[in-house]
Amino acid sequence: MSAPSDSVRLAAIGDLHVTEDSGRRYHDLFAEISEKADILALCGDLTNFGKISEAESLAEDLRACTIPMVGVLGNHDYECGQEEEVVRILRQAGVTILDDQAVVINDVGFAGVKGFVGGFGRGELGAFGEKAIKAFVEEAQEEARKLENGLRSLRTDRAVAVLHYAPVADTVLGEPEEIYPFLGSSRLADAVDRFENVKAVVHGHAHRGRYEGRTRRGIPVFNCAQFVVESQFARPYALLDI
């Protein structure tokens, strides 16, 4: 992305998958990011199983980060049903979890949600048939509604959407086609495209996907799963000028 003179440099990383025995795996990385960026966005799957001990391990490493942090949870962070405790621990470590709130930092607005599955474009699952299918689609619609509401609350000239699941098919290319519907939902992109002030979308989840894509309206989307970014830049985090 081109860098305007008053740009804010955003670092974004997803899919840390911190385990109980990760030690201080990310401590030095967060210190490095603090030297290179103004804000850090964490794009979900921050823990491997959503355990309290994993969140505490990550929180220890996050203390090396000296810049503002925003983030969302990923599907792995829900695995143990302790997501509320994971959120509490991360907030105590200084991370603004965006699911229920938007925030403005350095005149840039941030809104975000985990997102959900459902597919893209013509392959998007519709709410027809069994109750289970309708409930499935309702979850995807609810995540998109929360994202839209968060973005609508922002009055900044520049905004960033932070997700875990992908909003476009572009950034899941490279994954097996059979699992595309489980990697994200176009409903998230539809929500983003309603706002002219959104300058970028960052997400994770698709470990073998592609780094960059665009929404239908042309808003840049970046897959910031650390495995994707590492192959692109030989470092596990993206740097974007907003």
Residue 39: name the closest of 130, 112, 109 by CA: 109
* CATH number at 9-241: 3.60.21.10
Q: Is the pLDDT of residue 9 over 90?
A: yes
- Could you report the per-residue pLDDT of 101-121, keeping only the tens digit for each? 899 999 999 999 999 999 999
Q: What residue segments make up the domains of the chain, in order of their start? A: 9-241
Mean residue pLDDT of the chain comes to 95
Q: Which residue is associated with the tokens 């409930």?
A: 135
pTM to 2 decimals? 0.96
Q: Can you tell me the mean pLDDT for 1-11?
A: 72
pLDDT at 36: 98
pLDDT at 1: 41
- Could you report the per-residue pLDDT of 56-86, keeping only the tens digit for each? 999 999 999 999 999 999 999 999 999 999 9
Determine whether 124 is exposed, middle or buried from the number of CB atoms within 10 Å of its CB (0-12, 13-18, 19+): middle
| Residue 3 vs residue 32, higher pLDDT | 32
Pair of tokens at residue 46: 């921050």
Residue 4: name the closest of 198, 158, 183, 215 by CA: 158
- Could you report the per-residue pLDDT of 173-203, keeping only the tens digit for each? 999 999 999 999 999 999 999 999 999 999 9
Residues whose CB is less than 8 angstroms from the CB of residue 8 and which lie 6 or more positions away in sequence, other chains included? 38, 39, 105, 106, 107, 108, 158, 241, 242
Question: What is the rounded CA–CA span in Å between residue 220 and residue 214?
Answer: 5
